[in-house]
């Protein structure tokens, strides 16, 4: 239950991070998107997503798609404490999973910030949270075919973060870069985040939330396992931050706080798949590598002329993949077959996400348009779509 609260507060973390790393003229818009995701995500997940994700696959079924009906009603016995392995009830489970589901959409939100049309984004995220995410989820956590293959993803490096990350990647490709992100020669320019303290607070809040994310995914109140999980989670985060900070200091001769922050998140995403399988040393290794991946990943995205304001692709997609594969490399499940299973899982889920989000996004683009007009973008979405200022009493610069 507490873990649910912690996962809930991650949404504050994401909002802060996203606001902080973008320009003030789009702040209201970002908050609106995030509020939409939390509220409607929960409602949609309640309406159908949960039953799509945990349909109760029959023995012997292929476990690809099944839907257990609309709405939520506790199964018989679900109200008792001993539901599933014990330690939590059916209701807790729903809420916890609902918060997870919303996370996938939030990841996309960060990547597409400052230029996506609000209505298109809302439509997209409804479908993605209500349909794509639970289908993928059912393959593993719902007991579907990936689960039967032995694919392991403890708390969602792939099932949550990559699922969000793939959609983010496709979305920024479809959308194109923000006005001013690349100059005529295609050289990337810096569009500065406007409130770094909030972004930093977002990172710490996310770290806090991850205690719930990973700790809660133990799905039982086994204190030994839970506490090990918290230790690995924290150490990976610390190692990710430290290595990203050091590596970027070497690379750019500059103490770059934003890399530090992204490194911490990268470490957290990286450990998520195997948080309960790793020793502290493994966790530090996984985190450190994630930190380096982040620094290179952010640069790579720029090189590809993609525009990802908050670094969502590097953090959630690339580190998500890394984390999932790491289960086959480090820790108590390490092994060549496990690695291949992990790779297969990453590939299948990736393909599915790319295809489904691609179709969805192109359809939206064709049907209703996906990007605001150039003029609205320059003016800022807050004024253009909401007629409201985020900081009415402050004198502001405009970029």
Task: State which residue, 158 or 248, has the beta carbon closest to other proteins.
Answer: 248
Q: Tell me: does residue 299 bind its own copies (CB under 8 A).
A: no
Give the one entry of its own copies, other proteins, none that residue 31 binds, where binding means its C-beta sits below a cut-off of 5 to 8 angstroms depending on kind: its own copies
DSSP lists the bridge partners of residue 182 as 188
Give the one entry of its own copies, other proteins, none that residue 248 binds, where binding means its C-beta sits below a cut-off of 5 to 8 angstroms depending on kind: other proteins
Structural contact between residues 230 and 249, judged by C-beta atoms closer than 8 angstroms: no
Question: Environment class of residue 368 by beta-carbon count within 10 Å: exposed (0-12), middle (13-18) or buried (19+)?
Answer: exposed
Q: Give residues 295-334 in contact with other proteins (rule: CB under 8 A).
A: 295, 298-299, 302, 311
Give the one entry of other proteins, its own copies, none that residue 299 binds, where binding means its C-beta sits below a cut-off of 5 to 8 angstroms depending on kind: other proteins
What are the Cα distances from residue 103, in Å, to 10, 134, 397? 8, 12, 32
Task: State the DSSP string of 123-169.
Answer: HHHHHIIIIIHHHHHHHHTTS-HHHHHT---SS-IIIIIIHHHHHHH
Question: Measured between alpha carbons, how far is 309 from 110 in angstroms, rounded to an integer?
Answer: 7
Give the one entry of its own copies, other proteins, none that residue 178 binds, where binding means its C-beta sits below a cut-off of 5 to 8 angstroms depending on kind: none
Pick from 258, 277, 288, 324 the residue near other proteins by CB under 8 A.
Answer: 258
Q: What is the DSSP letter of 328?
A: T
Strand runs (DSSP E) across 13-145, as ranges?
none
Q: Give residues 370-389 in contact with other proteins (rule: CB under 8 A).
A: 375, 378-379, 383, 386-388
Q: How many residues does the chain have?
A: 399
Q: Tell me: does residue 223 bind its own copies (CB under 8 A).
A: yes
What mask, x for binding other proteins by CB under 8 A, covers residues 206 to 245? ----------------------------------------
Task: State which residue, 187 or 395, has the beta carbon closest to its own copies.
Answer: 395
Which one of 166-174, 187-195, 315-323, 364-372 is the stretch in contact with other proteins (CB under 8 A)? 187-195
Kindly give, in sequence order, each residue whose CB lies less than 8 Å from that of residue 39, ignoring residues fewer than 6 positions away: none
Q: Tell me: does residue 270 bind other proteins (CB under 8 A).
A: no
The number of residues that bind its own copies (CB under 8 A) is: 99
DSSP-derived 3-state class of residue 78: coil
Question: Measured between alpha carbons, how far is 331 from 322 in angstroms, rounded to an integer?
Answer: 14
Q: Give residues 254-293 in contact with its own copies (rule: CB under 8 A).
A: 254-258, 260-261, 264, 280-281, 284
Give the one entry of other proteins, its own copies, none that residue 235 binds, where binding means its C-beta sits below a cut-off of 5 to 8 angstroms depending on kind: its own copies
* Min separation Cβ 304 and other proteins, Å: 13
What are the Cα distances from residue 297, in Å, to 206, 291, 292, 377? 20, 10, 8, 26
Question: Measured between alpha carbons, how far is 388 from 116 in angstroms, rounded to an integer?
Answer: 17
Give the one entry of its own copies, other proteins, none that residue 207 binds, where binding means its C-beta sits below a cut-off of 5 to 8 angstroms depending on kind: its own copies
Q: Which residues form the interface with other proteins (CB under 8 A)?
A: 180, 188-190, 192-193, 248, 251-252, 254, 256, 258-259, 262, 295, 298-299, 302, 311, 375, 378-379, 383, 386-388, 395-398
């Amino acid at each position: 239950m507490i873990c649910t609260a912690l996962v809930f507060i991650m949404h504050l973390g994401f909002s802060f991070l996203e606001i902080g790393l973008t320009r003030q003229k789009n702040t209201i818009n970002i908050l609106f998107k995030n509020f939409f995701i939390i509220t409607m995500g929960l409602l949609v997940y309640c309406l159908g997503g949960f039953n799509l994700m945990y349909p109760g696959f029959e023995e012997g079924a292929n476990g690809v798609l099944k839907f257990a009906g609309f709405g939520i009603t506790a199964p018989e016995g679900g109200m008792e404490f001993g539901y599933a392995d014990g330690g939590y009830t059916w209701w807790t489970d729903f809420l916890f999973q609902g918060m997870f589901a919303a996370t996938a959409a939030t990841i996309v939100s960060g990547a597409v910030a400052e230029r996506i049309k609000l209505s298109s984004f809302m439509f997209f995220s409804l479908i993605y949270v209500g349909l794509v995410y639970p289908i993928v989820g059912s393959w593993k956590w719902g007991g579907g075919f990936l689960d039967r293959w032995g694919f392991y993803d403890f708390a969602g490096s792939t099932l949550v973060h990559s699922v969000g990350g793939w959609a983010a990647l496709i979305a920024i490709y479809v959308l194109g870069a923000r006005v001013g992100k690349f100059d005529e020669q295609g050289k990337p320019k810096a569009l500065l985040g406007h409130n770094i303290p909030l972004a930093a607070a977002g990172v710490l809040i996310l770290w806090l939330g991850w205690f719930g994310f990973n700790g809660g995914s133990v799905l039982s109140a086994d204190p030994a396992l839970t506490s090990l999980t918290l230790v690995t989670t924290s150490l990976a985060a610390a190692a990710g931050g430290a290595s990203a900070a050091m590596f970027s200091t070497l690379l750019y001769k500059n103490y770059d706080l934003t890399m530090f922050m992204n490194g911490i998140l990268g470490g957290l995403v990286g450990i998520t798949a195997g948080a309960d399988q790793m020793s502290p040393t493994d966790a530090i290794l996984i985190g450190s590598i994630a930190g380096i991946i982040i620094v290179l990943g952010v640069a790579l995205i720029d090189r590809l002329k993609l525009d990802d304001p908050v670094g969502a692709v590097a953090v959630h997609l690339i580190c998500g993949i890394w984390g999932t594969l790491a289960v086959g490399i480090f820790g108590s499940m390490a092994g060549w077959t496990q690695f291949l299973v992990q790779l297969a899982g990453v590939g299948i889920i990736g393909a599915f996400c790319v295809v489904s989000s691609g179709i969805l996004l192109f359809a939206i683009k064709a049907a209703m348009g996906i990007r605001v007009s150039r003029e609205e973008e320059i003016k800022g979405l807050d004024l253009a779509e909401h007629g409201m200022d985020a900081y009415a009493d402050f004198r502001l610069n405009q970029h």
